[in-house]
Amino acid sequence: MPNAPLGWCGPCEKGNDTTFQCNRKLIGARFFSEGMKASGALGDGGTPPPSQADLSSPRDYVGHGSHTLSTAGGSLVPGASVLGHHGRGVAAGGSPGARVAAYKACYGPGCSGVDILAAIVAAVADGVHVLSLSLGAPPADYLTDLTALGAFFAVQSGVTVVCAAGNSGPQPSTATNLAPWILTVGASTMDRDFPANVSFNGDTIQGQSLADSTLPIGQPYPIISGGKANAANQPTGNSSLCLPSSLDPAKVKGKIVVCVRGVNARAEKGFVVKQAGGVGMVLCNDASTGDTVVADAHVLAAAHCSYSQCVRLFNYLQSTNDPLGYINATDASFGVKPAPKIAAFSSRGPNAITPQILKPDITAPGVSVIAAYSGAVSPTELPFDDRRVPYNIMSGTSMSCPHVAGIVGLLKTKYPAWSPAMIKSAIMTTANTTANDGNPIQDETGAVATPFGYGSGHVDPVKALDPGLVYDTTLLDYTNFLCSLKPTQNPLPSLPVDLLPLLGNLSQPLVGLLLPLFDAAGEPCKCSKGPYGRPEDLNYPSIAVPCLSGSATVKRRLKNVGAPGKYRVKVTEPAGIKVTVVPSELYFGVGEEKEFTVKMDVDVNAPAANNDYVFGSVVWSDAAAYASDVSKAHRVRSPVVVKTKCG
């Protein structure tokens, strides 16, 4: 690659690691640990504290950062695979031609908000165009959430910020990184899996695994459930989960052990079985984790199976005193249907802070993702595993987030003058809500997924490159939004004084974060001067009305980024809701921006009017202009989420 582009001014910090170096692909690296040190959180909660080398170097000692950064911007690498043979092919990041920089702000025990804020501000000063943040904390007020404040500063500076939605699903209101200026990403499956079959009593159930070993086909082994293999003084609840020291070696030796997912790490359960003398493990989901299974690099023959599949296995175990079976893993399988499906772990809406803003915004591949990995840690991230791999498979919204960040990079390259909100809108309004079997995207239980799982849908990078129309959310829009939430105060107070010394070593001072917002006249904004409208009137690519009592109308603006043309609206009404869009047609000249309103009325005679949340959509399309080739038409879709019960 040629030298770093003009405008880049980031350093390559070595810290105490004299062997660390950047190159023309990795053009910058920095580390931030002062907040972590000052918080006293090192080693809290039983997590081993990071080493001094880890705290004093940009090098990745965990594997997470290498995986996410290469997913976002890794170059083309032929022959990449996990453990030498699983999923072999050409590895490529979402923006393979991009330059990348690493900003290390998280460690084994977790992250400090101060370090994250410092990293964001430094990245903006260094000249990055896209920030991919595979991290999160419990939802918090936007004016006290340091990640949200840092992201707001970045977006004001023209930098798009993409964040993970979190891994606390499928419970509702678990999504994090909820600020409307952040592009929040959920996780879904792809049409590839790594089959591992469990055969017993003439039946076979299919799971997934990346175990580096298998059991001989046709050679049956005794099977025992963890609940029946408990060690002395260990409750069956512990042994069914295969928690450390919970299994009795006398009951387990030479057998396949069935463990239930939960509490401890999936790969750790296999190690517990191996320590007790077991030869294999079947990892079973419970009802709450449904059908989402993950391929892990287990330390023994293993298969992770869905709840519905495992019901058959547990029925067999209860039907005989001498259950027998074997595990056989195969290589990657493609064309899996249906895909995508929402991952069980992917955090869900509604938005716990401002339910008028639908979150997550989008979903992307986040299950069994293969990407580069650090040689400083094992593929299972467990200390007893001495294997090292250049590529590893991981799952989480941490993995889906950089998929979208890579797509943002492509859009930024094609449209360098677009604002972060325009890029975000292009990705959201062109997303898919249909799986590869032609049916609606499902959740982990097989039920039809909702916008609380996938936001606007599953990302489609090709369509995002030509959205037709976009919702451009301006600084004034965000000002009005913040003031609508805090009508009696300045929406961006100064940062706490005790943070400033920790941030004082940045190359750029935090003046941008300390300035007040400005109104349409360019005057410093005081929210008490309102009115500033309602939160649901923020010019956002999705529509959420969490308390519809009778009737409500929201406003939106669309900007044309394509050829001049006429767009007509098509509405899919939420059950029990009458939706009226005015006007129903919009003609756009080049670069023109126009307003419309969406009125929602509760149909008191409809049975669904007493429901909780109901879902629909508003779609603007210029299909009439492309009657001879509808593939060229634009379809600008916004999900509509309405709650008819207030409180």
Which of 330, 361, 384 is where one domain is finished? 330
- The reply to whether 31 and 172 lie within a common domain is yes
Is residue 425 domain-resident?
A: yes
Dihedral sign, CA of 215, 220, 222, 223? positive
Read off the tokens for 529: 């001067």
- The reply to whether 61 and 175 lie within a common domain is yes
Which of 330, 360, 384 is where one domain is finished? 330
- Indicate the average pLDDT of the chain: 89
Is residue 526 domain-resident?
A: no
- The reply to whether 214 and 139 lie within a common domain is no
Query: Is a pLDDT exceeding 60 seen at residue 518?
Result: no
In degrees, rounded to 5, the angle at the alpha carbon of residue 311 between the alpha carbons of residues 329 and 169 is 85
Is residue 491 domain-resident?
A: no
- The reply to whether 127 and 216 lie within a common domain is no
pLDDT (tens digit per residue) in 117-160: 989 989 999 999 999 999 999 999 888 888 998 898 899 899 99
Kindly write down the DSSP assignment for every residue of 113-171, as one continuous string.
Answer: HHHHHHHHHHHHHHT-SEEEE----S---TTT-HHHHHHHHHHHTT-EEEEE--S-TTS
Among 311-325, 354-368, 608-622, where is mean pLDDT lowest? 608-622
- Stated length of the chain: 647
Is residue 479 domain-resident?
A: no
Dihedral sign, CA of 480, 481, 486, 489? negative
- The reply to whether 274 and 389 lie within a common domain is no
Confidence of residue 524 (pLDDT cuts 50, 70, 90): low
- The reply to whether 455 and 557 lie within a common domain is no
Is residue 506 domain-resident?
A: no
Is residue 527 domain-resident?
A: no
Kindly write down the DSSP assignment for every residue of 263-274, as one continuous string.
Answer: SB-HHHHHHHHH
Q: Report the pLDDT averaged over residues 356-380.
A: 94
- The reply to whether 250 and 279 lie within a common domain is yes
In degrees, rounded to 5, the angle at the alpha carbon of residue 24 between the alpha carbons of residues 23 and 26 is 60
Is residue 368 domain-resident?
A: yes
Q: What are the C-alpha distances in Å from 313 to residues 2, 205, 209, 308?
A: 57, 8, 17, 10
Query: Is a pLDDT exceeding 90 seen at residue 217?
Result: no
pLDDT (tens digit per residue) in 238-295: 999 999 999 999 999 999 999 999 889 898 999 999 999 999 999 999 888 878 788 8
Distance from first CA to last CA of the chain, Å, rounded?
A: 56
Confidence of residue 331 (pLDDT cuts 50, 70, 90): confident
- The reply to whether 260 and 324 lie within a common domain is yes
Distance CA 245, CA 248 (A): 8
* CATH number of the domain within which 235 lies: 3.50.30.30
- The reply to whether 307 and 350 lie within a common domain is no
User: Domain limits at 410?
Assistant: 26-36+55-191+340-465
* CATH number of the domain within which 185 lies: 3.40.50.200
- The reply to whether 443 and 383 lie within a common domain is yes
Which of 448, 465, 482 is where one domain is finished? 465
Is residue 401 domain-resident?
A: yes
β-bridge pairing 256-260 and 192-193: unpaired
Distance CA 202, CA 550 (A): 59
Number of structural domains in the chain: 3
Q: Provide φ and ψ at 187, rounded to 5°.
A: -120, 140
**Which one-letter DSSP state was computed for residue 53?**
H
- The reply to whether 219 and 152 lie within a common domain is no
pLDDT (tens digit per residue) in 11-70: 999 999 999 999 999 999 999 988 888 766 565 555 677 888 899 999 999 999 999 999
* CATH number of the domain within which 604 lies: 2.60.40.2310
- The reply to whether 539 and 635 lie within a common domain is yes
pLDDT (tens digit per residue) in 370-429: 999 999 998 888 878 888 999 999 999 999 999 999 999 999 999 999 999 999 999 999
